[in-house]
Structure 1
Amino acid sequence: MSVRVLFLCTLLSPTIFGADPAVSLQGPSGGWRYHGLNEGDNEARVAYPTPPIDRGAQRGRSLIEGTLQNIGPLRPPHRLVVNGNPLPLYTDEQGRFARPYAFGAGSNSVELVAGEGQSLKRIQFYEANNLRTPARMRIVLGWDDPKAELDLHVVTPDGQHAFWSHPVLTNGGGLDVDSVDGPGPEMFTMTAPLQGTYLIYVNYWGNLGSGGYNFEAGSNQNEIITAQINLIFNENTVNEKRETFLVPLRAIGELLFVKSFTY
């Protein structure tokens, strides 16, 4: 049975954000709810604000849920920072959000950060379930346009190519979740990376509006979409190393090479 120790620090100031702010972040007291995104009826449970697709590459994920309501003049995009990985955060009309993440054993943290940089709420907890293998390599893609759909592409040393239509690799790597409603995240994870050269690409696939997906230029929100790619090795260990890349995308169909690295 998994044992968790919770340290909770709430940093919200009502004098700054209004009389009745509602900022919540579900903590691991009683346990994170580990499950696939689908509950067996082929209907995704998560809404952020619409469901991501569970392609099965990473099981045993935790669902991070919360609300951002009545927080005054703070402007989005806000950020959900998971183990130091900043992910652009948008909510539905009721201020709710939900995101999956694959936590490993050891110390983990989740933080809500306002667009201006103000920390709203932070949870740090220790995951003592040693069966939850930490990610030795994680690549996280997020972007700042909720009306655009970007895709993460990773080529591994043995020539396998992970992307939305081929998320599960035979070498143990794969996409944790394929976010289909903007602005991410999309995550590639390996717990036992192969030695050799890896290639990272980002593709501006199309746009998303009230009528569904489209490929109409200008139907996204920002003229220039800023994609942020975080490359993390040995997450949550004393040997953790990370790099962050900012990539601008302008035209639908654009496929940009981000990084080549050797593990």
Structure 2
Amino acid sequence: MNHVNSLFSLSRSSVLRRVRLRAVMLVAVAACCVSGTGVVTQARAASADGGVADLTRSFGGWRHSGLTNEGEQFVAAYPRPPVDRGAQRYRTLIEGRLRRIDKHARKPPTLVVNGNPTPLYTDNEGAFARPWAFGAGSNSIELISAAGRQRQRMQFYEADTSKPQAKLRAIVTWDDPHAQVDLHVITPGGLHAFFANPTLEDGSGFDVDSVDGAGPGIFSSAAPERGTWLFFLNYWGNFDTTGYNFDASAHDRDVITATLTLVFNENTPDERRETMVVPLRKIGDLMLVKSERL
């Protein structure tokens, strides 16, 4: 594991300087619509008052980020234009605006994508933008109000067969809007995917690596190597409107709850998943969350 330790100890300052220089805001209205890509709405179910949120082009098609492995690889999300370091293709923005904002709620609303729940943090007007990576087949999105009494759900079918079907996905989310949690993946052959090395020689890598608050970070492999895979979570630091920092008090929660979900054979009859919830208490915490033999 010496090579792993050396990679974990990589100085992030140079990466952050490069990230800040290249970070750009992808304006929603300038994003390409997905008409013609095979995204078809199947159903819409909302609460009695019309729904929890107004979603941007959600039921007529999702807006793809249009990002590729070349050029800029960043998208905009709350609360500032942070960085989506994912380098794989086919990322999509889930965008919208909450119809009501309960500033006294003890927890934020919840966004559930294909069964994966994540806190939904917004700006002061209720606007949100979450990057995600959808696989081919049937996908679902659900919005749950902060109090849990209102739900808005839809399903759509992604028929774009050019997308490689992920046989392994690792998804990390967490519950502090000012914390930065990193996912590190070690393949059986010793390859290491993380924020500074988002794509690997075997074709796997991060579709999404969102750094703003709740995540997500999504690692995908269409042909995972046989052997033992290692999944680590690292509480790297915090950030606010001034940028990244290592102020131990600059977070919202004393204990950050991070959730790692492994999805195998997504959107197929053989799909199965494992979910692990772990506490992260201080900056620098590094935890081996799962050792999975395939």
TM over 0.5: yes
- Secondary structure, counterpart of 1:177 in structure 2: strand
2:63 is paired with a residue whose SS is coil
* 3-state SS of 1:176 partner: strand
Q: 51, 54, 60: which one pairs with 1:24?
A: 54
1:2 aligns with 2:48: no
SS of 1:124 mapped into structure 2: strand
**RMSD of aligned C-alpha atoms?**
2.4
The structure-2 alpha-carbon separation of the partners of 1:119 and 1:70, relative to structure 1 and needing over 3 Å to count, comes to: closer
Is 2:121 aligned against 1:90? Answer: yes
- C-alpha distance in 2, partners of 1:66/1:130? 27
Q: Distance in 1 between matches of 2:176 and 2:190?
A: 31
Alignment equivalent of 2:98, drawn from 68, 83, 94: 68
The answer to which of 195-204 and 212-221 deviates more is 212-221
Q: 1:78 Cα deviation (Å)?
A: 1.9
Q: Which residue of structure 2 lines up, in the alignment, with residue 107 of structure 1?
A: 138
Stretch moving more, 210-219 or 241-250: 210-219
Contact 1:28 1:125 in 2 (8 A): no
User: 1:48 maps to what in 2?
Assistant: 78
Which deviates more, 221-230 or 26-35?
26-35
Partners of 2:109 and 2:100 in 1: CA distance = 14
- 1:235 is the counterpart of 2:270: no
1:246 partnered with 2:266: no
Give the Cα–Cα distance (whole angstroms) in 1 for the partners of residues 150 and 275 of structure 2.
21
Residue-by-residue CA offset, 1:188-228 (whole Å, 9 max, x unaligned): 11111111110011001011123221111121110110001
Q: Which runs of 4+ in 1 moved over 6 A?
A: none
Partner of 2:240: 209
Superposed displacement of residue 168, structure 1: 0.8
**Conserved? CA contact 1:52–1:178, under 8 Å:** no
Partner residue, 2:65: 35
User: Are the aligned partners of 1:25 and 1:121 in contact in 2 as well (CA < 8 Å)?
Assistant: no
Match of 2:226 among 175, 195, 208: 195
Paired residue total: 257
| Aligned equivalents of 1:214, 1:24: Cα separation in 2 | 34
Instruction: Please state if 1:157 is matched with 2:188.
Output: yes
Rounded to whole Å, the distance in 2 between the matches of 1:212 and 1:59 is 27
**CA offsets, 1:62-102, max 9 Å, x none?**
21111113255754322211111112210111111111222
Q: Bigger shift: 100-109 or 47-56?
A: 47-56
Residue 144 in structure 1 maps to residue 144 in structure 2? no
Which structure has greater helix proportion? 2
CA distance in 2, matches of 1:240, 1:41: 34
2 CA distance for matches of 1:43 and 1:143? 22
* Cα distance in 2 between the residues matched to 1:91 and 1:257: 31
Distance in 2 between residues matched to 1:262 and 1:91, nearest whole Å: 38
Amino acid at match of 1:102: A
2:175 is aligned with 1:175: no
TM-score (norm. length: structure 1): 0.88
Gaps of 5+ in 1: 15-19
Separation in structure 2 between the aligned mates of residue 23 and residue 211 of structure 1, nearest angstrom:
29
CA distance 1:21–1:111, change in 2 (3 Å): closer
Asked if the contact 2:166/2:220 (under 8 Å) is kept, the reply is: yes
1:51–1:180 Cα contact (<8 Å) kept:
no
Q: 1:259 to 1:119 in 2, by over 3 A?
A: farther
Counterpart in 2 of 1:77?
A: 108
1:123-138 superposed matches below 5 A:
123-138=154-169
